[in-house]
Amino acid sequence: MAEYIIAALPNWIQALAAICLVILTLLTLIILKGYAADTKTIADTSVSQTENSQMPFLAVAMREGDGNAQGGWTVENQGFGPALNISFSDYREGRRHMRPIPPLGIGGKRTNLHNEIANALAQAEGFEIEYESLSGKRYRTTVVTENGRT
């Protein structure tokens, strides 16, 4: 009997080593899954920070005219990135239409839309601008009136 146990000892050691290797592999996979989740979180945060650093922001402003520029309602890019595929709400014949305007670069670039904005606000419809950033993320600026005031 003792001879049988001694003869089978290498087989038992090999089986025990295989079980330890399986346990070690499972623990490694669990830890790697946690690292992969952390890496994904870091990557998502990095993309968000990049988008925020290049995000356009279109604002509607009333400007006074001077010798170089016409006054009235304007749409200005006050963000950190160019605004692309811009369209604004235009109310004609009682219906809302989206009309395009050229892209606006950074640095306070603006487009005069005095008549269109004044018309939309006078009808108490509000005014909307839809646009995209370089990454294709869509944004919207909405101007509403309350008791005839903007």
Q: How many CA atoms lie within 13 A of 79 on its CB side?
A: 25
Which CATH topology does 55-143 take?
Answer: Immunoglobulin-like (2.60.40)
- Distance from first CA to last CA of the chain, Å, rounded? 98
CA distance 115 to 127: 12
Q: How confident is the model at residue 130 (pLDDT cuts 50, 70, 90)?
A: very high
Task: Dump the DSSP string for 63-75.
Answer: E---SSS--EEEE
Supply the mean pLDDT for the chain.
83
Give me the pLDDT at residue 147, please. Answer: 58
Give the mean pLDDT of 29-47: 90
Residue 92 contacts residue 144 (beta carbons within 8 Å): no
- Report the 10 Å Cβ neighbour count for 131: 25
Q: What pLDDT is attached to residue 31?
A: 94
Helix (H) or strand (E) holding 141: strand 138-143
